[in-house]
Amino acid sequence: MASPVADRFMQTLQQTEQTKDVEPLVALFSEDAEFGNLIQSQPLQGKAAIRMYWQEYLATFGQVHSEFEHVVEGEKLTVLEWTSTGTLPSGKPMSYRGVSILEFQGEQVQRFRTYFDSAAFVPRVPH
């Protein structure tokens, strides 16, 4: 069973995936939150950059839905193991898995890291 703050993040992400409205998700982050993944050379800082990330992320898909398979929590830390399925803008089906690490300060996300297999988004070149 996830903590209320982790549960709120998971539910809000799924809602954002359906509605494409990133504002409820961005609102979960602190003003000076840090956000990173393996694609970025430097972590993003602050809500404006995080908003842009989520908008660009959602634009990568026609549809996307994340399911959370495993949640591990510490005092101020949550690790989410997930699978996302859906379609690319072309309509081609896609599926990928990953792990997200959230560090909380009170009720807000202070630091977010996510690691996933980006091969689902990379066009395959025939050999």
127 belongs to a structural domain: no
Supply the range of the domain harboring residue 59: 4-114
Indicate yes or no: pTM above 0.85. Answer: yes
124 belongs to a structural domain: no
84 belongs to a structural domain: yes
123 belongs to a structural domain: no
55 belongs to a structural domain: yes
Farthest-apart Cα atoms in the chain, separation: 51
Q: What is the mean pLDDT of residues 53-80?
A: 94
- As a whole number of Å, the CA-based R_g of the chain is 14
State yes or no: pLDDT of 35 exceeds 70: yes
Could you give the C-alpha distances from 50 to 29, 44, 91, 112, in angstroms and in order? 8, 7, 26, 10
126 belongs to a structural domain: no
CA 108/CA 45 separation, integer angstroms: 14
pLDDT at 124: 56
How many folded domains does the chain comprise? 1
Kindly state the percentage of the chain with pLDDT values over 70: 93
For residue 14, which of 57, 68, 53, 88 has the smallest C-alpha distance? Answer: 68
pLDDT at 121: 63
Q: What is the CATH number of the domain that holds 96?
A: 3.10.450.50
State yes or no: pLDDT of 125 exceeds 70: no
